Structure 1
Amino acid sequence: MPKPAGVDSPPTPAVGLGALLADRELELRLVVAGPEPAEVHGVHASEMADPSPYLLGGELLLTAGAGLAEPQAGPASGADDAADAYVRRLVGSGVAALGFGVAPLHAEVPAELVRACTRHRLPLLEVPPRTRFTAVARAVWRLMAEARTRELRRVTEAQQALAAAAARPDPVPAVLSRLAASLGGHVRLWPDGRAAGSPVPPEAPAVPAALDALLARVGRADGPATATDQADGRHLAAYAL
């Protein structure tokens, strides 16, 4: 789910929630799906009514519901209000998903929590009694390590491909083409003007001007060696050669 303004995820490889749900040993069940595939950057377990001061954003928060209203205690509207406030705090902290451990405190995921997560579009998982929270955390760290290994392999292969392209008789277009393919985007050499890769789509009209400004900024004698920017939802980066 999109992060609230000002909330940044930790610098760790993301683990798709789908990968955790696919782990048969965990037997997690998706109760509420978010508006888009959630990405988990860490795991935190807390029974606090407000764990937000201890969150960085991007976590799968695990709880047994000790901080929520007791089952069948008080009017339903009071339980709904408490659950709604709880989920709003989590969403405001940038939590990626909520994992609720059933038993020993709750025999099932509280209905008011399901309603609140549905209302605020926070992914909600049911953690069965036989699955320990530490097992969920270990699965996340394992998937992160695998993602990091894949990324290192991808970077190494890209560097080797760029070195091979640079050794060709006409190295500039070869390097530009190889770099664009590795990034899956658009690459331009400034002020030469040569480019490679997919063209800037018409639904991103602000990208060309923003990219030109970024390249001119890095290209100055007193400019930075690197610079980044965002335009029309696209990530832009410039590097001095």
Structure 2
Amino acid sequence: MPNEKLRAAMAAGCWTYASLAEKAEVDPKSVERWVNRGRTPRRATAMRAAEFLGEDVHAIWPSLRQPRPARAVSPELVALYEQRADIPVSAFVDLLSEAREQIDVLVYAAVFLHEAYPRLNDLLQERAAEGCAVRIAIGDPDSENVRLRGEEEKFGHGIESRCRLALMHYRSLIGTQGIEVRTHATTLYNSIYRADDQAMVNAHVWGVNAFAAPVWHLRRSGVGGMFDTYAASFDAVWATATLVGED
């Protein structure tokens, strides 16, 4: 079936098969087939031709509106958990234990780690002694965003109290070479537990406690992927955070 919209657009602009073919970088016979047989060019070619015609590419070739097939799974996704409570604490401990260069923790409190694994501070000190840079960012209990999170999760002052408890847990690490603890007042969209090129990312869902929200385990596979997005997010929060000093 002929493409009458294309024929009309060419006629309005005084385009010939040859002149449009030259701009679109194809053979004139290809343009003739577009018009007379209703053939659809490749997307990049169609967009180039439509640009010279001054027309909407989808108006001329409606079939190009069909979405491209999406990649089903990111190559960086190691595992997806329906909720954090499904993950044994040993998975977090094993992740941190494997770190050789960098450990980053971004949370509001996450006291479940210390409660379930009392040796967490020892582990972080051991990693730091081996040259691993450890950065811990916990929520500022006096910040507005922490207060709001408590309201949203119907947890009241519980989150503020847990932020203070988290600070108590980490306080013995303050002053340890290679370990830095800061408090942040940002909106926490995701909790991040990073160890070198791997990370556990606990998504936050409005009105849902973190333990009931999904977690994805990522492993960095290249520049600019999902892992780097979350790593950059951590760095941005870290830059705004306040250093916790020794008493």
Do the structures match in fold with TM over 0.5?
no
> What's the TM-score, normalizing by structure 2?
0.22
The structure with higher relative contact order (CA 8 Å, sep 6+) is 2
> What's the TM-score, normalizing by structure 1?
0.23
